[in-house]
Structure 1
Amino acid sequence: KILETGKGAVSSGVISGIDIALWDLMGKKLGRPIYKLLGYSGKDTPRYIALSRYGNIDSLRKAVGIFIERGFKIIKIHEHYNRAIDAMKELRDIYGYSPKIIVDLSSSIPSLEKAKELFNSISKYEPMWIEEPLRQSDNYKALNKLNEIVPIAGGENIFTINEFKRAIESEAYTYFQIDTTKIGGITEAIKRINIAKLYNVSLSYHHRPDNGWIGISANYHVSVTAHDSFLLETPPDDPFRYFRIEGKIGTDYLQFKGLGLGIQPKEDIPKEEEDQDFVVYQEP
């Protein structure tokens, strides 16, 4: 009921955590990964990394360079709209157009007029998409106009099914984002995937930074049910330092194969099980 009234961000986040935990418990109880409970096979899911917002463009350039050297091919940067064009120019001048760059503006542009100016100027630097550009994030008419200039991604902050449908019908985005940790969990995400299939729109899976790799695993299990190509957002850090994962993590893909979510915090693993063999590896 909460999900049907208002934006409900806090309530939706609480429900998400409970729902994901219940799916994890059910998978472990039945001896299956969640994706098998949904009737699908596990597969490699394409991945991109999201970086923090840096204090200056020089620091951003150095950070992007480090991750390009490590083999990451799609990188999301977070910028205020006042600095986004200069940042993209710097990155293209130094690293060329081979790495795909996503620009998250975190709903910072106050008006459609300013947004048009930015979109027209930044388009020559070929961002893969611009995420959440407008301060008024539900102004779908304005987003539709901007989406004709540069592809837009959004939807992580849409907390009801009816609003999700309205965004799709308005053609506000090229990539509709799903985040299981924000919108009501795996159960709600499945509903949205089914709607996306009906409308034949592209999906991308958003990562909420404070949820870490557990939320990413939940996104993975629903992502394999999608009808088209998709991307799953992750941080650039190494999950194996804190988690035991049955699966694989590469620079441009990932897969979770264990029971339930397929991920377990190391602090929760009994000592007698710490040395058990698992199919766990990270490719360079």
Structure 2
Amino acid sequence: MSEAAKVVSVEAIPLKIPFTHGGPSVSWAGSDWQALEIVLVRLQTDSGLVGWGEAFSYNCRRAVVAMIEDSAANVLVDKLVSERAQIMHELQVGMHLWGRYGISMFAISGIDIALWDLTAKAADRSLGQMLGGNKKILPAYASLLKYRDPEVVAEQTADAIANGYGLIKLHESTVEPVKAARDVAGSEVPIMLDVNCAWSISEARQIMQQLVDCNLYWLEEPVWPPENFSALSTLRAEYGIPIASGENVCTHWQFESMFDANAVDVAQPSVTKVGGVTEFLEVEKAARERKITVAPHSPYFGPGFLATAQLISAMDEDVPFERFYMAPEASLFGTAIDPVDGELLVPQGPGLGLDPDPDVILEYRVHD
């Protein structure tokens, strides 16, 4: 691909892939969550090269597809891939009327990932290599779903440890499941807790006091709303439990507001939400300047998974990779994205490292 390569087609491809996770059905946004909704972004240039991205779309795929194809595509077609930074600026300015955070930024994120995939493919290097990275193996942690039942949490924790994971993340909002996991894991296995913004400040104070003895590696998004950075700062100072947040923070501007509030010990940008690779790199830079740890949020199974792995491979710190502890019915990348003994091999092919399986796309594509 030459410097003059132009985008000639933009396609948003929605998929729905059922999964199992070893526990009862998961309720999310008023419905049972039984399938991964993935919106792939496919960009093709006039040279025939194809770039792939992923826009966050769990329970919102139709809106994300519409944002990409009805709004963003008009900006992208006939643009030079080498003008990636200008494209991102134009998209953010042009789409801000629909919100700086949320659906519009999910769409922009997927497009940006695809543009970086094209850029790295043109250089015949992986994205991580292009960013100066050399890590080929990443430690992975098992990110369990929300089970609510202490017995199920204990079973899944034991199962993850038996499968080689040395770090466990829970998605629970009460004390008993956390203590059940700690009892099974023992004192040596780090346990993170993601509350998904379930508590008020008063509830957080009450429960965090009970969690002090659990020796959490970090406590993630403890309060509602997630942008209440002053509350995070207060809780961080009061209990000494490391606070993590960022999966619901978009753009480096909002992250810098969070950093300036002294709200977190661990920043968690999500490449499919934050604004893609471009914004992720700005977040990482801002965090590094403030000596804040970056541990990306990545409960994904599409190009967002690969982009996160490539980004971590280029980071100076040893950062664990989040792997949702579930079994999708099909994989876009075969077994290449399955950690072995708690370690993930970073794909070394050009761009994101791998392209999605066209047969899986054909079988699981949703025609809304």
Divergent runs of 4+, >6 A: 245-248
Is 1:32 paired with 2:125? Answer: yes
| Offset, 1:114 | 1.6
Higher relative contact order at CA 8 Å, sep ≥6: structure 1 or structure 2? 1
Structure 1: gaps spanning 5 or more residues: 270-284
**Alpha carbons 1:246, 1:257 under 8 Å: kept:** no
Work out the number of aligned pairs and report it.
Answer: 263
In 1, Cα distance between the equivalents of 2:337 and 2:163? 20
Name the amino acid aligned to 1:183.
Answer: V
Deviation at 1:133, TM superposition (A): 0.6
Aligned: 1:17 with 2:110: yes
Q: 1:266 aligns with which of 354, 357, 368?
A: 357
Q: CA deviation at 1:219?
A: 0.9
Contact 1:202 1:229 (8 Å CA) reproduced: no
Provide the identity percentage.
28
- Residue 153 in structure 1 maps to residue 225 in structure 2: no
Q: Is the 8 A contact 1:92 1:125 kept in 2?
A: yes
Change (3 A) 1:231 1:206: same
The separation in 1 between residues aligned to 2:263 and 2:296, in whole angstroms, is 17
Question: Quick check: 1:75 aligned with 2:155?
Answer: no
Distance in 2 between residues matched to 1:241 and 1:114, nearest whole Å: 39
Cα distance between partner residues in 2 of 1:147 and 1:194 = 22
Secondary structure in 2 matching 1:153: strand
1:184-223 equivalence runs, <5 A: 184-207=275-298, 209=299, 211-223=300-312
Give how far 1:264 is off.
2.5
Counterpart residue type for residue 275 of structure 2:
G
Distance of 1:214 and 1:194 partners within structure 2: 23
Q: Taking structure 1 as the reference length, what is the TM-score of the superposition?
A: 0.84
Matches of 2:133 and 2:318 in 1, distance apart? 15
Q: What is the CA deviation profile of residues 38-76 of structure 1, one whole-angstrom value per residue up to 9, with x for unaligned ones?
A: 233243222212111115221121111111111111111
**Residue of structure 2 in register with 1:257 after alignment:** 348
CA distance in 1 between partners of 2:130 and 2:182 (Å) = 44
Task: Return the structure number with greater helix share.
Answer: 1
What's the TM-score once normalised by structure 2's chain length? 0.66
Structure 2 unpaired stretches of 5+: 1-88, 361-368
Partner amino acid for 2:107? V
Contact 2:302-2:332 within 8 A present in 1 as well: no
